[in-house]
Structure 1
């Protein structure tokens, strides 16, 4: 159960980064610069950790590893985060969060296409995984698009965004919404491709701290270069003792650093589809955090959607456990019995019965 607990922790940590990003944006910070800063900080933090924890293993960094790290940094860090934030600025946080729940379905299709997963829809485990994935996506969509009646479970009367409520505006034009939708879909494909490339990288380079450091290093170069091309006002690059500094530190150390290590480990142990299925959990966590910290009200749709997400996760985890049990059972059988060959000492009747 280590992998599920790790992925739950990852989604809670990412939800915290989501809330901090909202606060930083309301404070006037350019989130494109936040991406560049957070990836740079993540590189500086993960470098010493990778050196001290994996120096005795002497990981050999080949050109193949560097190319894979480049694409991990591109799809999983710089491009994904910038596309997500660009779509967020053109539409709304609710809409982009809903689109992000396409990641499990896209990852499942890509994993089957690249041969990393098998559908096995004729087996009970395969049906459970497919149904659980669809149920999780459906629950996330229900949580996002259906409100229903307001449910007053608690009231903290805390709203950290109250100072930005009067000034925060979002463009609502149809052209902006169409472009934002395309950017959101592109961010989903980037995230799914990252899981696929990470799975390939973990097979030949199972050093998660070093691979995360390389990914953040490549992503930081890409993000800084992109930010320099888009933002020439150096006053915008200055960080003060405010929510912006806290956001980049938390995002760099926790979200881009430690969380990526856990994701890399879980991808290697359980596969890319398993990791992507936990994405909708962040919606549940953000909904709860919004209720506690941003004075957002819970609705019936949030509760029903959360229940579907939990049921969907249980279905996928149950299916994966059944598949793993089947693999273990097959591996415990003698190779001759699996291939239909006779065993030493078998009688003629026993050979005939086995065939």
Structure 2
């Protein structure tokens, strides 16, 4: 069991390290003068080029034909979870910091819970401890976001280094001034990104049900995001010079975020979810915040402020409260099942829980039919 747990844990740590790297590369590319809309377009262009062949070869024998409904949902998924969410996120990061933007992503479980209630994917049992934990966690997350937005506080950076990859950049100084003047706007953009990303999770549930081919649906979403992001970037600015990539941080940021963050990382994350479930994968999210805070301080010369630290603590606390409530709810539902539960070993040697629903229903139908025959005979 220790070996079975070590692999998913190591994989999730790698996922969070790669996620932290995305935030650092985003900040470096934007401060280097790269247009954020072009950066998002290149990200999904690289992701589509990586995932499309992968989806073709893995799912070509069992993939069904596309329908208009699937195309429409894919377009909406590409808009909410791709082009729109990423453009808002980078815009907010540009006005604040990589650490700040990373902290706001921990709002996603709470926001998703609220949207799931609105769209009736979730039910709220206020009198149960699970429902109370989810409500409390959501409120804690909102309080943390408000604290991040409106309170800066004292500088509490635990160390100061002489390494600063953007210290000599004029864009860096302009960004610092913009961050001081537009901190609230940057906060709202980051929070709006979380809302659209949470909405994407709701839409993704519909897409997974209608088109249950993980690689193909993800590749299709990335293609939609590419078309949307390119159209948005060209509509905002048609200067060809903004699209030029050299052997610099712009190419690294585009390739890293596209191939690793939207390609390799997604495959690793899917494997972890399949092995240990979504709750296990979710509890590692705050690790990215810690990694980004350390890397930003060491490499970008960013400062950690009291308001950001306190807000992050509240958001992470709210995250774990929501996850605990969700886990408690699932445990309660399983314990209340009146049907027998048996365990079987799969091919990988892992133990799966199987509820004998079909057997019980078949037995019930047989008993009813036997009673009816007995009544007619009598």
TM over 0.5: yes
Contact 2:104 / 2:145 at 8 angstroms: preserved in 1? no
**Match status 1:326 vs 2:332:** yes
* Corresponding residue number in structure 2 for 1:353: none
Matching of residue 14 in structure 1 with residue 19 in structure 2: yes
Report Cα offsets for 1:29-61 as digits up to 9, x if no partner: 112111111101100100121122223433443
Q: Which residue number corresponds to residue 350 of structure 1?
A: none
Partner of 1:92: 96
Deviations along 1:138-165, one digit per CA (max 9) or x if unpaired, are 456656745446353x555422121226
TM-score where L is the length of structure 1: 0.77
Aligned to 2:134: 129
| Equivalence for 1:285 | 291
The 5 A counterparts of 1:1-355 are: 10-89=15-94, 91-93=95-97, 102-139=107-144, 145-148=151-154, 150=156, 152=158, 154=159, 156-164=161-169, 168-170=173-175, 183-184=189-190, 186-260=192-266, 282-298=288-304, 307-333=313-339
Q: TM-score, normalised by structure 2?
A: 0.73
* CA distance in 1: counterparts of 2:238 and 2:74, whole angstroms: 28
Query: How many aligned residue pairs are there?
Result: 337
Per-residue CA distance 1:185-208 (angstroms, 9 max, x = gap): 543332121111012212232322
> What residue ranges of structure 2 are gaps of 5+ in the alignment?
341-356, 368-378
RMSD, matched Cα: 4.0
**Which deviates the most, 322-331 or 220-229?**
322-331
**Which deviations, in whole Å up to 9, do the C-alpha atoms of 1:269-288 show, x marking residues without a partner?**
978x9988876654433212
1:311 Cα shift?
4.0
The question of whether the paired residues in 2 share the 8 Å contact of 1:291 and 1:297 is answered with yes
Contact 2:50 2:259 in 1 (8 A): yes
- The answer to whether the 8 Å contact 2:107/2:319 transfers is no
Distance 1:108 1:151, change over 3 A: same
The aligned residue for residue 376 of structure 2 is none
